[in-house]
């Protein structure tokens, strides 16, 4: 505990929570004030950085990931009004404690307004809710993180003249969202590494079709190889000397934090019992509506998160621990089930990734696991999360039956989530349990992005306008072997 005194104010800080006593107003006006959040490496609690340094360097110098020293709590007035607040106001209240003192409130408001001309509707399909995260320009949830990050970087670098070079590995959707988020931003260039032949034609156009300050490298290898190359580049002393490097995949804390926003917004709405009406891009066949035999009545949500690198789920854990009314999580994976196996056995074993139809989740060594393990014990994680792996056959079957019964089109990632809720309900084990309340599946991508998988099962999927434009672009990527020397040469 410390007390700082200046001419008008006393700042009393207890365990990181600070209150300001305004002399003129007497002791009963206690205002919570801006507390400077520090970030630590997951591998070293001794040194800390502010938000700007943590965001702009991406990875800590020791190879660890930055985590906030503590997860802030929403003020109780915010917590109780999440169900009625505007999405932008929830974003402001969620992000503010993490960036205080480095991004002034007015700037943060502008960033949020410009980053999110779209929201995340919570759609009711009978007894099941879908949190649609694909209403942004690249039709995947990564727009939420990438668009905030691009604008935050642009502000944080406002006084620099050395250009910033962003290096990012993608299994599909990150690259598109990052490329789109940074396209045309002055003083920043972006190189996206993606596994050659393992992303969809549309994703490839989103990554490699922009040109300008965005370069694309098709790596002869897997996503894990791409990720390893990025990590190698970051720890390469020679490269670090030559270039101002930063990362932009889900290891970057500035991408992770804004992803907590839609969890809080959806959780608040669910408690109020108010789902959204369909959004414009909602992929629903108006001729087929059904499955409403068990109507949804509201209540705290179990959220099912289709997961690969576990950035999205980690952001959900932040929202829950900030006080958003979330019952728990289902971590849905495809057969790359490193985390579900860990939750079941306590034994964490990374393995090579295997290709599936939900390719944005083909991750055998999820990078954000290190964050989860740094914040929470195995017991904590088991209390908050159930892991459920899903096969490609199950995924296809769910895409077909959900379309047939409810007229709703799922993409392969959302379908993994849907199936995981089915399997968890059948397989109660005392953890966070979807049977005990409403479950919302995070639909992480629009099904039209994965038309080659979805359409054979459902027929033509309605295509949102944003995606129609992308298909007209010509992809221009350079192919490189999965080798750091080759990457260094290109950079």
Ligand X SMILES: *Cc1c(COP(=O)(O)O)cnc(C)c1O
Handedness of CA 410, 175, 330, 272 (dihedral sign): negative
Comparing CB distances to ligand X, the nearer of 167 and 271 is 167
The nearest distance, CB 360 to ligand X, in angstroms, is 3
d(C-alpha 266, C-alpha 412), whole Å: 22
Distance of CA 2 to the CA centre of its chain: 36
- For residue 447, the minimal CB distance to ligand X (Å) is 10
Closer residue to ligand X in complex, CB, 97/172: 172
Q: Which residue is nearest to ligand X (CB)?
A: 173
Question: Are 366 and 342 within 8 A, CB to CB?
Answer: no
The Cα 491–Cα 126 span in angstroms is 51
Q: How far is Cα 41 from Cα 49, in angstroms, rounded to an integer?
A: 9
| Residue with Cβ nearer ligand X (72 or 172) | 172
User: Shortest CA distance to 313 belongs to which of 417, 212, 434, 395?
Assistant: 417
Closest contact distance (angstroms) between CB of 341 and ligand X is 16
Secondary structure (3-state) at 46: strand
In the complex, minimum distance from the CB of residue 313 to ligand X, in angstroms, rounded to a whole number: 6
Maximal C-alpha separation, the chain:
71
Nearest to 147 by CA among 121, 122, 110, 104: 110
The single residue listed with the structure tokens 């209403």 is 135
Give the nearer residue to ligand X in terms of CB position, either 233 or 251: 251
CA distances from 143 to 175, 197, 439 (A): 10, 23, 23
What b/e sequence results for 288-312 when a residue is b if at least 16 CB atoms lie within 10 Å of its CB, and e otherwise? eeebeeeebebebbbbbbbbbbbbb
- 193, β-bridge pairs: 169, 217
Distances in Å between the Cα of 171 and the Cα atoms of 11, 184, 198, 207, 359 are: 46, 23, 8, 11, 7
Q: Tokens at residue 217, please?
A: 């490298």
Query: In angstroms, rounded to a whole number, what is the distance separating the alpha carbons of residues 178 and 23?
Result: 47
Task: Tell the smallest beta-carbon distance from residue 317 to ligand X (Å).
Answer: 12
326/268 Cα distance (integer angstroms): 9
Q: How far is the CB of 76 from ligand X (least distance, A)?
A: 29
CB of 411 to ligand X, least distance (A): 7
Q: C-beta of 282: minimal distance to ligand X in Å?
A: 16
| Residues at the site binding ligand X, with contacts judged by CB under 6 A | 140, 142, 172-174, 250, 306-313, 360-361, 413, 444-445
Q: Minimum distance between the CB of residue 245 and ligand X, rounded to whole angstroms?
A: 21
Pairwise CA distance, residues 113 & 411, whole Å? 28
CB atoms within 10 A of CB 9: 15
Least gap, CB of 394 to ligand X (angstroms)? 16
Asked if 189 and 216 touch (Cβ cutoff 8 Å), the reply is no
For ligand X, the closer of residues 239 and 466 by Cβ is: 466
């Amino acid at each position: 505990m410390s007390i700082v005194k200046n001419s008008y104010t006393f700042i009393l800080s207890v365990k990181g929570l600070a209150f300001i006593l305004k002399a003129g107003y007497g002791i009963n006006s206690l205002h919570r004030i801006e507390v400077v959040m520090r970030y630590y490496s997951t591998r070293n609690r001794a040194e800390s950085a502010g938000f700007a340094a943590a965001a702009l360097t991406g990875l800590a110098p020791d190879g660890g990931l930055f985590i906030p020293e503590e997860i802030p709590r929403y003020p109780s007035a915010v917590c109780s009004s999440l169900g009625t607040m505007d999405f932008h106001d929830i974003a402001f209240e969620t992000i503010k404690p993490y960036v205080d003192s480095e991004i002034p409130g007015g700037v943060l408001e502008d960033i949020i307004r410009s980053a999110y001309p779209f929201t995340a509707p919570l759609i009711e399909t009978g007894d099941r809710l879908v949190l649609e995260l694909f209403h942004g320009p690249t039709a995947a949830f990564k727009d939420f993180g990438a668009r905030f990050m691009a604008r935050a970087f642009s502000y944080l670098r406002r006084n620099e003249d050395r250009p910033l070079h962003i290096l990012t590995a993608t299994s599909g959707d990150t690259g598109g969202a990052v490329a789109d988020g940074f396209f045309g931003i002055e003083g920043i260039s972006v190189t996206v590494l993606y596994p050659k032949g393992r992303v969809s034609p549309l994703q490839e156009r989103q990554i490699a079709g922009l040109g300008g300050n965005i370069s694309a490298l098709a790596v002869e290898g897997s996503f894990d190889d791409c990720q390893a190359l990025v990590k190698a580049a970051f720890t390469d002393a020679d490269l670090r000397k030559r270039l101002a490097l930063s990362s932009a995949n889900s290891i970057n804390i500035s991408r992770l934090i804004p992803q907590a926003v839609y969890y809080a917004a959806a959780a608040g709405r669910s408690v109020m019992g108010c789902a959204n009406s369909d959004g414009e891009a909602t992929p629903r066949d108006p001729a087929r509506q059904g499955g409403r035999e068990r109507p949804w009545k509201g209540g705290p949500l179990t959220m099912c998160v289709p997961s690969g690198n576990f950035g999205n789920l980690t952001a959900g854990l932040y929202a829950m621990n900030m006080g958003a009314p979330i019952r728990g999580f289902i971590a849905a994976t495809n057969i790359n089930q490193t985390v579900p196996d860990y939750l079941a056995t306590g034994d964490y074993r990374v393995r090579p990734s295997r290709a599936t139809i939900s390719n944005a989740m083909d991750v055998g060594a999820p990078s954000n696991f290190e964050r989860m393990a740094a914040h929470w014990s195995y017991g904590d994680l088991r209390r908050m999360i159930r892991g459920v792996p899903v096969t490609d056959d199950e995924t296809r079957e769910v895409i077909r039956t959900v379309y047939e019964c409810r007229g709703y089109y799922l993409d392969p990632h959302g379908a993994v989530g849907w199936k995981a809720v089915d399997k968890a309900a059948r397989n109660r084990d005392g953890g966070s349990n979807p049977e005990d309340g409403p479950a919302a599946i995070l639909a992480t991508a629009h099904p039209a992005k994965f038309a080659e998988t979805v359409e054979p099962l459902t027929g033509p999927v309605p295509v949102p306008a944003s995606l129609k434009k992308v298909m007209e672009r010509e992809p221009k990527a350079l192919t490189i072997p999965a080798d750091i020397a080759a990457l260094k040469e290109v950079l």
